Amino acid sequence: MDLEEKREKRPPVTPMMIEEEAALRNGSRGLPPGSWAEAAGPRPRTTERHIAVHKRLVLGFAVSILALLAVTMIAVLLSVRFEECSAAADGPPRASGNGSLPGAARQPPGAGQPPGRPEQEEEEKEARGGEVVEEEEEEEWQRRRELPPWTRPRLPRHLRPLHYNLMLSAFMENFTFSGEVNVQLEVLNASRYIVLHAHRMHIEAVRVAEDKLAGGVRVDRSFFYPQTQVFVVVLNRSLEVQKSYNLKIIYNALIENELLGFFRSSYVLHGERRFLGVTQFSPTHARKAFPCFDEPIYKATFKISIRHQATYLSLSNMPVETSVFEEDGWVTDHFSQTPLMSTYYLAWAVCNFTYRETVTKSGVVVRLYARPDAIRRGSGDYALNITRRLIEFYEDYFKVPYSLPKLDLLAVPKHPYAAMENWGLSVFVEQRILLDPSISSISYLLDVTMVIVHELCHQWFGDLVTPVWWEDVWLKEGFAHYFEFVGTDYLYPGWNMEKQRFLTDVLHEVMLLDGLASSHPVSQEVQQATDIDRVFDWIAYKKGAALIRMLANFMGHSVFQMGLQDYLTIHKYGNAARNDLWNTLSKALKRVGKSVNIQQVMDQWTLQMGYPVITIVGNETTDNVIVISQERFVYDIDAKPKDPALGDSSYLWQIPLTIAVGNTSHISSEAIIWVSNKSEHHRIPALEEASWLLGNINQTGYFRVNYDIRNWRLIINQLTRNHEVISVSNRAGLIDDAFNLARAGYLPQNIPLEIIRYFSEEKDFLPWHAASRALYPLDKLLDRAENYNIFNEYILRQVASMYLKLGWPTNNLNKSLVQASYQHEELRREVIMLACSFGNKHCHQQAATLISDWISSNRNRIPLNVRDIVYCTGVSLMDEDVWEFIWMKFHSTTAVSEKKILLEALTCSDDRNLLNRLLNLSLNSEVVLDQDAIDVIIHVARNPHGRDLAWKFFREKWKILNARYGEALFMNSKLISGVTEFLNTEEELRELKNFIKSYEGGAAVSFSRAVETVEANVRWKKLYKEELFQWLRKSLTH
């Protein structure tokens, strides 16, 4: 799953991201208040909407009545009797003859009720009705002095589902569905209870039989237990061990509007709104779509049938086996049976999309489904093409074939994550899969590519071999994230993603987060369903990936690959825990004659939070001896005493430290030193007077390295004289380490700024990117300071010469150029971004000229790769017409990538009234997509003129925001960190603490992280701001 899985750009938490370029600072002019609202307001479409809704209501009602009559008659004719669910609200069976199997499955739920939210009321009633029964049951268990099995956070272990037959009817006209599930159960321990997950549905009938034909086992009663999201069936006798039973449940529910479970979404085609239904079950939402054993360990086979109007098509994990058409314009698709799989990556969809198709060498049929206009434009062709190649890549790399006959990629307008890896039916939000080559930048292309590489990796890591439980979600997410880079290298060999971009986008990114005292281990215990979303955070994704990369490097890539092949082969169609992986990898190492206890090493990295900073100090008295020490790195050293565990020596890691010695023209080959103590002495050969030491070669390790000042000076000299002696990845590593060590107070503030002085000669993208990312938070700490312009001036000086050398791109890249010039174009983009955001005059002028040309000619000739920079600079510098123009374009463009950067550009104004209006409009779903609203708020918070507005807006609208995003925790945590991370005054810290005291709702983890971050910001300003400005003043006068 990709958070935003989650592909979000700035720090915390979101599954896979390319990070965010430094946002642009605003210029001095803005739009006059009021000028925007008229242009901005969504055109009221009340009339059409009412008519449409009215028609739907009438139609829905008519269909419901007809279906009700039909069902009743069939039921009476067949006289099929069912145990009524005792949880049903009013006790007595409903008059509709619900018991009839075929009828019930077809009956629109809520027949006779108006569409709306009947389930909520229903559920409340059920909960009340259930309470009485449940209390009786609980008393019985109390007498036995045991906890009732349904109150425990995990399902009881006495039953195991073997196979599910699931028949669904989707009623798109009133957004309801009905279902009949038949679960074949194996009894491991005798019990009178069946406890399985079911949430937010109405259960019509329950029946238990020894097998499908034999007589039933009487159901005494049944009830929901909402606290653990389970449904309990109490039988009049025990199920017998080793016998197989069939559990049949008939139910109905809503096709929700909230992006989880079986939900609906919509798009406009030829001016008409069209709807689709699609699922998102990970991690715990399958239970909202059908009663099931909704834990990953309960793998079973599934046979799904979906009945829908013939104007729609239906999709699921497997291909359609047969379709049965009815005369009334309905059709039932019967899908082939799945292999053994967990519930969370089961999926289906009902839509009227079209598709394009390709076939892999091994015969896997790959289709991309999207809205018809996108398919016609060819927007899915890029994704389709790379998917075919990637399946071939993974089959070759893992030596395990793709397991299903087909893979569908479904591009949906709305989704809670960037994408979800459902086996054979992976779902992507449109912005992460559709791509129009004529108007997409390289970074957008890279973004799309990596999301696809990620989800395809999951077809093996996740779908084929599944973590036993959610504490090890990083086992699947870490691998998928790591392989984003390996797989992209396969598609674009010149891009060096794994060796380079991984550093800035993953390693540096997550070390920011994991350097907080309030971080958590990558493996984290979790029990309650409501807590499970919490484990999908950047620590799981990015730290997981960084640890896997460190492991691959110290094992050697080919042995690592062999080990993975064994792991997948041994555990396919099953579940595995981290120790299964460590054991398999240790065995692979043994086969090549190496012996490392991988479990022992990796347990320290996965079960302890944070990471070490290694300090290498030359020994003054003994030649060639260095002292290497380790301690836990934290940004807020003051946080240490608060947590005694941080101060003592309990945090120790076994660290594979690679080290090399360099002099003016040469660097030695690397040696590996395993550091496992607090402090160790090591002898280094050939250490001469002028040699410097470099640790963590190519930054393959998940830790920071600090040196004595003498060594830092030697390194700075080396960079100035001949930076190429030090590798590109090490240059980026030195930059990131130095800025962050200084930010945390381990290093004087001037060292990082001195390091980037060689930048007039730096022609590689990665060190620029690392610097730009490290400068960004520093800039945000200073951007409202009085002396800000000194800092500004210093950065502009370092950027000026490369900006002049590189110039602006002159025309749009064509496809063949993409491969060759990626590094160069990204470098140019980075330098232009720094120049424009720090106020380079030429850069501002160029942006203004390009915008004016666009407005006057109505032809957008702005090079794709710098459009976001130009739009934002234009909005911040130019008059209100520009904003209105950008706003108009935001509404009229259909290309998703373009829409996003146009929207973000609107946050670049320095007019506070307009920023406020934009914030208010962001919550209007008709104007701004739900998932984009968060970006609007965060981007306003990054703007120094809007920071306090976004912060105030966030506090005022917290209830609405929490209700909207609370369930997808990563979104909430992205929002919370995005709005608070650059607050840095005592006053703001007080406001944050007061808000936390008074707020209602979850997200405690995100808020404590926010407090720590703001405390560290305030502390840094108090201790180091003046030191930095003094050095800058001195430096600028020289």
Closest contact distance (angstroms) between CB of 18 and Zn ion is 15
Closest contact distance (angstroms) between CB of 574 and Zn ion is 19
- The secondary element (H helix, E strand) that includes residue 621 is none
CA dist 904 to 799, 883, 922, Å? 25, 12, 11
Q: By three-state DSSP, how is residue 718 classified? A: helix
Determine the Cα angle at 829 with ends 827 and 830, to 5°.
Answer: 65
Closest contact distance (angstroms) between CB of 311 and Zn ion is 33
Closest contact distance (angstroms) between CB of 455 and Zn ion is 7
Of the listed pieces 425-433, 476-484, 888-896, 997-1005, which binds Zn ion according to CB under 5 A? 476-484
Residues identified as active-site: 455
**Residue number with CB closer to Zn ion (480 or 933):** 480
- The secondary element (H helix, E strand) that includes residue 319 is none
Per-residue binding string, Zn ion, 1003-1022, x by CB under 5 A, is: --------------------
Short-list 532, 572, 531, 541, CA closest to 474: 541
Q: Hunting for tokens 């001896």 — which residue is that?
A: 625
- Under the criterion CB under 5 A, does residue 419 sit at the interface with Zn ion? no
Q: By three-state DSSP, how is residue 288 classified? A: helix
Give the pairing type, strands 574-576 and 465-467.
Answer: parallel
**Residue 880 has which token pair?**
């209100």
Closest contact distance (angstroms) between CB of 398 and Zn ion is 17
Chain residue whose CB lies nearest Zn ion: 1
Q: How many residues interact with Zn ion (rule CB under 5 A)?
A: 3
Q: Are 32 and 882 in contact (CB under 8 A)?
A: no
Q: By three-state DSSP, how is residue 391 classified? A: helix
Of the listed pieces 18-26, 333-341, 480-488, 753-761, which binds Zn ion according to CB under 5 A? 480-488
Per-residue binding string, Zn ion, 713-732, x by CB under 5 A, is: --------------------
**Residue number with CB closer to Zn ion (453 or 732):** 453
Closest contact distance (angstroms) between CB of 164 and Zn ion is 24
**Residue number with CB closer to Zn ion (195 or 259):** 259
Short-list 729, 674, 743, 731, CA closest to 700: 729
Closest contact distance (angstroms) between CB of 480 and Zn ion is 4
**Residue number with CB closer to Zn ion (454 or 867):** 454
Omega before 283 cis (within 30°)?
yes
**Residue number with CB closer to Zn ion (282 or 876):** 282
Pairwise CA distance, residues 583 & 570, whole Å: 12
**Residue 922 has which token pair?**
């962001």
Q: Are 408 and 356 in contact (CB under 8 A)?
A: no
Give the pairing type, strands 202-209 and 83-84.
Answer: antiparallel
* Phi-psi category of residue 418: left, alpha or beta, with phi > 0 → left and psi -120 to 50 → alpha: alpha
Of the listed pieces 172-180, 477-485, 639-647, 798-806, which binds Zn ion according to CB under 5 A? 477-485
Give the pairing type, strands 230-239 and 219-225.
Answer: antiparallel
Binding test (CB under 5 A) with Zn ion, winner from 407, 480, 831, 937: 480
Per-residue binding string, Zn ion, 435-474, x by CB under 5 A, is: ----------------------------------------
Closest contact distance (angstroms) between CB of 545 and Zn ion is 11
Q: Are 508 and 633 in contact (CB under 8 A)?
A: no
Q: Are 353 and 331 in contact (CB under 8 A)?
A: no
Distance separating the N- and C-terminal Cα atoms of the chain: 52
Closest contact distance (angstroms) between CB of 428 and Zn ion is 12
**Residue number with CB closer to Zn ion (456 or 1032):** 456
- Specify the length of the chain in residues: 1038
Pairwise CA distance, residues 804 & 546, whole Å: 36
Could you give the maximum distance between any two Cα atoms of the chain, in Å? 100
CA dist 625 to 268, 655, 673, 678, Å? 70, 19, 13, 17
Kindly write down the DSSP assignment for every residue of 830-877, as one continuous string.
HHHHHHHHTT-HHHHHHHHHHHHHHHHHS---S-GGGHHHHHHHHHHH
**Residue number with CB closer to Zn ion (173 or 477):** 477
Closest contact distance (angstroms) between CB of 102 and Zn ion is 39
The residues facing 349 across adjacent strands are: 278, 315
Binding test (CB under 5 A) with Zn ion, winner from 1, 196, 201, 598: 1
**Residue number with CB closer to Zn ion (6 or 828):** 6
Sequence-distant (≥ 6) Cβ neighbours of residue 733 within 8 angstroms: 503, 696, 698, 699, 705, 770
**Residue number with CB closer to Zn ion (355 or 394):** 394
> Residue 696: what are its φ and ψ, rounded to 5°?
60, 65
**Residue number with CB closer to Zn ion (110 or 467):** 467
Of the listed pieces 127-135, 475-483, 647-655, 1022-1030, which binds Zn ion according to CB under 5 A? 475-483
Chain positions contacting Zn ion, by CB under 5 A: 1, 477, 480
